[in-house]
């Protein structure tokens, strides 16, 4: 907050209004430590850039300038009203205004439509503070208009219900049910980002109840996979746990989620986590072959209470790099050139050492290899 207050004072000393706005104000009133502070002002972006030495045009077409001060970055946005949202995502045009209330009016929910002065005085034209006390998520003004402007707000309401452990206001929820089909107009990357956030909050089950009840799942990729008993789900802070949870209990593979455009690394992690979860008995090779993150997800899916780091620490080796014999050694001992056979023998050597049937000692490995190699020749 200290840097945001400095930004506000600089703007005020230049004759402009400026307030802290958005989710940070909400979190502050809830007694939480906000991650980021945003500032709204009646100064135009060009004036903001004149007043601060270091700025970045992060969203200047919509009036936003990132001010870099004392090692922090504060987004400063000019008061504005929005034009039509023809793509149900972004305004086709914006108009800079001088009224803070006009700016707050365009925001999604009352709890996010408050402003705070540097002396902590709250400006609350839409009853956001009261809704915080009532623990309600309510759209600003007409909910149908808010969701027609940006259909992702419907999913944000669902996310906030779990993140804050709030209820969604009846009229707001009814509007989501009525317009749930509009979510199809939103880029899947934005949808996935919201769902990722749902999977890391402590009340995922509440969000999922609203997601299903709202009818949104009917218009989401692989929407039927969300229909589960989420009371069994315990968030760990890893968003991939939620996606893996759906696949595991529906007995599906990662390919079922292709509509969400996961990165190759995310797909690999989920596939390996599912493989580990479907492995009945975990032994030393399991702890060696799977990463800590993969095993963490798998243990959550199967409700295994295991100290994974301790199990890994007790392994004879942690990676192939620690093997006392190399592929060059195997080629020298066998007299063969490099080929597909080599990978198989290195893997076999790893498994023998990890499972305790062979010491990680070069002479012992040589003795084992020559015996087994000639036996299979």
Alpha-carbon distance 30 to 73, whole Å?
23
**3-class SS string, 251-305:** CCCHHHHHHHCCCHHHHHHHHHHHHHHCCCCCCHHHHHHCCHHHHHHHHHHHCCC
pTM: 0.89
Alpha-carbon distance 211 to 213, whole Å?
6
Domains along the chain with CATH numbers: 1-127 (3.30.460.10), 135-235 (1.10.110.30), 241-315 (no CATH), 323-376 (1.10.246.80)
Alpha-carbon distance 342 to 322, whole Å?
17
Q: What is the pLDDT along the chain (377 residues), one digit of tens a residue?
A: 889 999 999 999 999 999 999 999 999 999 998 888 999 999 999 999 999 999 999 888 889 999 999 889 999 999 998 766 665 556 666 788 999 999 999 999 999 999 999 999 999 999 999 999 999 999 999 999 999 999 999 999 999 999 999 999 999 999 999 999 999 999 999 999 999 999 999 899 999 999 999 999 999 999 999 999 999 999 999 999 999 999 999 999 999 999 999 999 999 999 999 999 999 999 999 999 999 999 999 999 999 999 999 999 999 999 999 999 999 999 999 999 999 999 999 999 999 999 999 999 999 999 999 999 888 76
Neighbours of 293 (CB within 10 A): 15
Strand partners of residue 335: none
Please state the length of the chain: 377
Q: Find all residues with CB under 8 Å of 234, minimum gap 6, and list them.
A: 300
| Coil/strand/helix, residue 7 | helix
Q: Find all residues with CB under 8 Å of 176, minimum gap 6, and list them.
A: 143, 147, 154, 157, 158, 168, 214, 215, 216
The conformation of residue 151, written as its DSSP 8-state character, comes to T
B/e letters for 344-364, b = 16+ CB within 10 Å, e = fewer, are ebbeebbebbbeeebebeeee
């Amino acid at each position: 907050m200290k840097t945001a207050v400095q930004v506000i004072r600089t703007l005020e000393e230049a004759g402009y209004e400026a307030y802290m706005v958005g989710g940070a104000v909400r979190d502050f009133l809830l007694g939480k430590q906000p991650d980021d502070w945003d500032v709204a002002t009646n100064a135009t972006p060009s004036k903001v850039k004149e007043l601060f030495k270091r700025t970045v045009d992060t969203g200047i077409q919509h009036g936003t300038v990132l001010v870099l001060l004392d090692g922090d970055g504060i987004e400063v946005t000019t008061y504005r009203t929005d034009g039509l949202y023809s793509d149900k995502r972004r305004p086709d045009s914006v108009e800079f205004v001088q009224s803070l209330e006009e700016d707050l009016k365009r925001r999604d929910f009352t709890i996010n439509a408050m402003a705070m002065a540097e002396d902590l005085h709250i400006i609350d034209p839409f009853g956001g503070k009261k809704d915080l006390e009532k623990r309600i998520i309510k759209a600003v003004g007409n909910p149908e208009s808010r969701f027609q402007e940006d259909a992702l707000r419907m999913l944000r309401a669902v996310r906030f219900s779990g993140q804050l452990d709030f209820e969604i206001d009846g009229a707001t929820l009814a509007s989501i049910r009525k317009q749930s089909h509009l979510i199809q107009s939103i880029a899947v990357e934005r949808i996935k980002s919201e769902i990722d956030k749902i999977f890391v909050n402590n009340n995922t089950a509440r969000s999922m109840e609203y997601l299903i009840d709202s009818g949104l799942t009917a218009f989401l990729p692989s929407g039927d996979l969300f229909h589960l008993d989420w009371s069994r789900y315990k968030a760990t802070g890893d968003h991939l746990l939620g996606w893996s949870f759906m696949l595991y209990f529906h007995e599906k593979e990662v390919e079922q989620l292709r509509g969400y455009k996961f990165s190759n690394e995310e797909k690999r992690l989920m596939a390996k986590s599912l493989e580990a979860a479907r492995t009945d008995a975990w032994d030393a090779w399991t702890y060696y072959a799977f990463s800590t993150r993969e095993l963490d997800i798998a243990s959550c899916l199967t409700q295994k209470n295991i100290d994974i780091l301790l199990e890994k620490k007790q392994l004879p080796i942690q990676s192939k790099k620690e093997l006392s014999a190399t592929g060059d050694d195997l080629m020298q001992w066998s007299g063969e050139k490099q080929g597909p056979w080599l990978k198989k023998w290195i893997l076999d050597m790893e498994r023998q050492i990890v499972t305790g049937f062979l010491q990680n000692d070069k002479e012992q490995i040589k003795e084992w290899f020559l015996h087994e190699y000639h036996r299979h020749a």
